[in-house]
């Protein structure tokens, strides 16, 4: 079974209206579909560009802009649901701060030809999210998305820097982990990519990173962005020796297109040079408080 994935190096773009944003997003989706991509992955906080349609006062207020963005949640989902259905693809939408029980949560919605199939909330918060922005950890639940080609999970940015989420997702049957990310510097981007490569090695899976690029100086939340898209694997039989399937030049606005052979994961797990996934099962990892739960969604 093979899968063609598109991972976005996505710019935070200023828009005059919601309608203009919708046209912009559709062009991006069309570009990936034209390259035969089956799954499209947008980066963490890519939806923050919608703040550009608000007043200057709201743009400048970190906390208020999250509240205002939540009012666009239904329309945001309607756009991606329509695009996924129209183009018959699966889309991991750019993550969006949402309000749940008076908490601001960083959420990545997933859409397929069936419509909205589920979402993954970010579990681990960075200092900026915690101390300045007021974004909080979501419910300690990991979602497994079950598609006709295989299963996947999502680890949003900082989450992929910890082994627990990808390990539990892999144990639950995920073959691919998508990591939508938003980082300001080479250091931040490196932490995410090192984490993604480690998760691919530990669990003998594919990990795909999508990141924001370029500057949006009108936004105090995502004003500076540095990143690049990448697709990683375990360095084992019939797979790239360095565990790097593909990357793009940093800061370039584009889609990274990668074709993944999922049968190779089964081969290395059964007869690889090492048995990382099997041996990793002897390592018990979870949260001491609020153990992580697993849920499943049919894509």
pLDDT tens, N- to C-terminus, the chain (299 residues): 899 999 999 999 999 999 999 999 999 999 999 999 999 999 999 999 999 999 999 898 888 999 999 999 999 999 999 999 999 999 999 999 999 989 999 999 999 999 999 999 999 999 999 888 999 998 899 999 999 999 999 999 999 999 999 999 999 999 999 999 999 999 999 999 999 999 999 999 999 999 999 998 888 888 999 999 999 999 999 999 999 999 999 999 999 999 999 999 999 999 999 998 888 888 777 776 778 888 898 89
Closest by alpha carbon to 190, among 271, 247, 241, 146? Answer: 247
Do 258 and 231 form a contact (C-beta atoms < 8 A)?
yes
- Could you tell me the domains of the chain? 2-298 (3.60.110.10)
Closest by alpha carbon to 26, among 77, 83, 76, 109? Answer: 83
Closest by alpha carbon to 181, among 168, 193, 171, 173? Answer: 193
227 three-state secondary structure:
coil
């Amino acid at each position: 079974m093979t899968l063609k994935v598109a991972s976005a190096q996505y710019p935070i773009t200023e828009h005059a209206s919601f309608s203009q944003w919708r046209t912009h997003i559709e062009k991006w989706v069309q570009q990936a579909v034209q390259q035969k991509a089956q799954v499209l992955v947008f980066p963490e906080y890519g939806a923050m560009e919608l703040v550009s349609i608000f007043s200057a006062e709201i743009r400048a207020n970190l906390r208020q802009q999250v509240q205002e963005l939540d009012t666009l949640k239904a329309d945001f989902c309607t756009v991606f649901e329509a695009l996924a259905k129209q183009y018959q693809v699966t889309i991991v939408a750019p993550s969006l701060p949402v309000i749940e029980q008076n908490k601001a949560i960083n959420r990545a919605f997933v859409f397929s030809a069936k419509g909205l199939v589920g979402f993954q909330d970010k579990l681990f918060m960075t200092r900026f999210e915690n101390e300045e922005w007021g974004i909080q950890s979501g419910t300690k639940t990991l979602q497994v998305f079950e598609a006709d080609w295989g299963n996947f999970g999502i680890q949003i940015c900082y989450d992929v820097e910890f082994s627990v989420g990808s390990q539990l997702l892999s144990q639950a049957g995920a073959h691919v982990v998508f990591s939508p990310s938003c980082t300001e510097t080479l250091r931040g981007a490196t932490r995410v990519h090192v984490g993604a490569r480690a998760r691919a090695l530990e669990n003998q899976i594919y990990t795909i990173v999508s990141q924001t690029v370029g500057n949006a100086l009108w936004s105090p939340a995502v004003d500076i962005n540095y990143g690049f898209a990448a697709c990683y694997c375990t360095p084992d039989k019939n797979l790239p020796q360095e565990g790097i399937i593909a990357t793009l030049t940093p800061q370039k606005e584009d889609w990274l297109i990668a074709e993944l052979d999922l049968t190779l994961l089964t081969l290395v797990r059964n007869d690889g040079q090492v048995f990382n996934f099997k041996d990793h099962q002897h390592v018990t990892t979870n949260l001491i408080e609020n153990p992580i739960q697993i849920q499943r969604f049919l894509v």
